[in-house]
Amino acid sequence: MRVLIAPDSFGDTLSAVAACRAVARGWSAARPADDVRSAPQSDGGPGFVDVLASRFGTVRTATVAGPLGAAVEASWLLDDRGAEPVAYIECAQACGLHQLGGRPTPRTAMAADTTGVGQLVAEALAAGASTIVVGLGGSATTDGGHGMVDALGGAAEAAARLADVSLVAASDVENPLFGQWGAASVFGPQKGADPTTVEILEQRMIQWNATLTTIAGRDISGEEGAGAAGGLGAALLALGARRISGATVVADATGRADDVAAADLVITGEGKFDSQTLRGKVVAALTASATAAGIPTVVFAGQVALTPGEIASAGIASAFAIVDIAGSVEVAMNDADNQLARLAQQVAAQWTDGDSERGA
């Protein structure tokens, strides 16, 4: 049987690449004759570069400013297989929450900026990239991309430097720049902002939007994805980017449709499998592709928060939680690699080729 393993990351516990290895190890232990292939996935957030680098391109590293200014080592990917090089940048590499060095606070929410992202864009330009794809997600920032624009020389200079570049904002986030569903209101609290700080960030974003409107020649604040990565999406849109789903970027770049078509079973997964998953996330997109091809999908997750009926209605054959085999959330998180491998081995041991034909 041909098995395609294509998970997203499992939150902070396992990257998509590591999750692939764990599932493959467990599945192959129970069914060594199966043809197991890995295709890690991402929606543009943390792990975006690693996922793509597992399939193609050259990983480059640059020392850039982290979210609070201290230098960090950030990786980006250059795909120079074609005549026009493509650069893939993951904003979390430069300004991710994990780069704060501790828990986010109102102070870090106010101070964090996207300067390092601008420096990575400059690296990509210097390398001759004609297309620059910026994966958005996992940021500690709510600066509307102000730091990125400044790092590129300011509004006019940034626009000039990117005028002949095809710029892509890779994100599944549809939120506007400000307002009830904007970057500060919705995502600010996750980045340490208390109510007072949220209001300050909101007002700062409204003021910054005047500059973005000048750059773009239109008000981009209400466009889908403007609020992604603390408003970094808005700056990219103002500089001419088109927004594409991060999951779609990965799918197209890695030939996911061909991978799915060649499989008899698709295994995907993420940290928590809940109602949010069904609204356009990697697992939902992958399931839709597999279902259209008549191929069953199995989901492995840290926790499963959907009913059997909801799982079936989503077109998913079965869903299994690591916490069930680990016995506790603590063990599931602290020993995620081994517990995921155990879960995969257990499911594989009970699987028959007929399950694939019946959709489990």
Range of the domain at 343: 2-40+254-358
* Predicted local distance difference test score (pLDDT) of residue 344: 97
pLDDT category of residue 79 using cuts at 50, 70 and 90:
very high
Q: Are residues 167 and 69 in the same domain?
A: yes
Shared-domain flag, residues 224 and 106: yes
Mean pLDDT in the chain? 93
Tell whether 61 is covered by a domain. yes
CATH of the domain at 300: 3.40.50.10350
Instruction: Find, among 270, 188, 177, 301, the residue nearest to 232 by Cα.
Output: 177
Half-sphere exposure of 225 (CA within 13 A, CB side): 22
Instruction: Provide mean pLDDT across the span 22-39.
Output: 96
Q: Are residues 158 and 295 in the same domain?
A: no
Reading the block at residue 264, the tokens are 């008899």
Mean local confidence (pLDDT), 73-97: 96
The pLDDT, as a whole number, for residue 354 is: 59
The pLDDT of residue 275 is above 80: no
Residue 249 lies in a domain: no
CA 345 to each of CA 159, 291, 328: distance values in angstroms, whole numbers, following the listed order: 52, 24, 19
Q: What one-letter code names the amino acid at 209?
A: N
Domain shared by 110 and 214, yes or no? yes
- Which range, of 6-10, 131-135, 164-168, 271-275, averages the lowest pLDDT? 271-275
Q: What is the pLDDT of residue 314?
A: 86
- Tell me the C-alpha distance between 351 and 300, whole Å: 14
Could you report the per-residue pLDDT of 145-188, keeping only the tens digit for each? 999 999 999 999 999 999 999 999 999 889 999 999 999 999 99
194 with 88, same domain?
Answer: yes
Domain boundary among 244, 271, 296: 244
CATH of the domain at 171: 3.90.1510.10
Q: Domain count for the chain, please give it.
A: 2
Q: How confident is the model at residue 313 (pLDDT cuts 50, 70, 90)?
A: confident
In angstroms, how far is CA 175 from the centroid of its own chain?
16
The verdict on 100 and 221 lying in the same domain is: yes
Tell me the pTM: 0.90
Residue 259 and residue 237 in one domain: no
